[in-house]
Amino acid sequence: MADPGPAEAQRLCKELQLLVLQHLHEQGYKEVAHRLEQESGLYLDTKHLEDLVQCGAWDDAERYLDGFTEGCEDPGSAKIFVAIRKQKYLEALGR
């Protein structure tokens, strides 16, 4: 059997990472799975992000998103971070 080419090796690596992510989620290792998602850039769990936003965990939401974006360098990402920081500010004013 010949060695796989670079594209095939990359596809197999991504497939393995997705299997590991699935296993971590199934076993209840949510935080570990989210960290792997961030570092690999494979999957943004919108439900997890929604949960963070709904409970007002703005710093955690910002950190989670930061693993998937180029920060404020991308105009779309910048808008999201501005919205999060605006909400944090408004909530701080309301205290």
Lookup: tokens for 80:
């999201």
Rounded Cα–Cα distance for residues 27 and 49 (Å): 20
Q: Is the Cα dihedral 34, 35, 36, 39 positive or negative?
A: positive
Q: Could you report the per-residue pLDDT of 61-89, keeping only the tens digit for each? A: 988 888 777 666 677 778 888 999 999 99
pTM for the whole structure:
0.59
pLDDT digits (tens, 9 = 90+) for 17-56: 878 888 998 899 989 988 888 888 877 777 888 899 999 9
Per-domain residue ranges of the chain = 1-43, 44-95
**Residue 95 and residue 91: Cα distance in Å, rounded?**
7
Report d(CA 95, CA 78) in Å as an integer.
26
Q: What is the DSSP letter of 3?
A: P
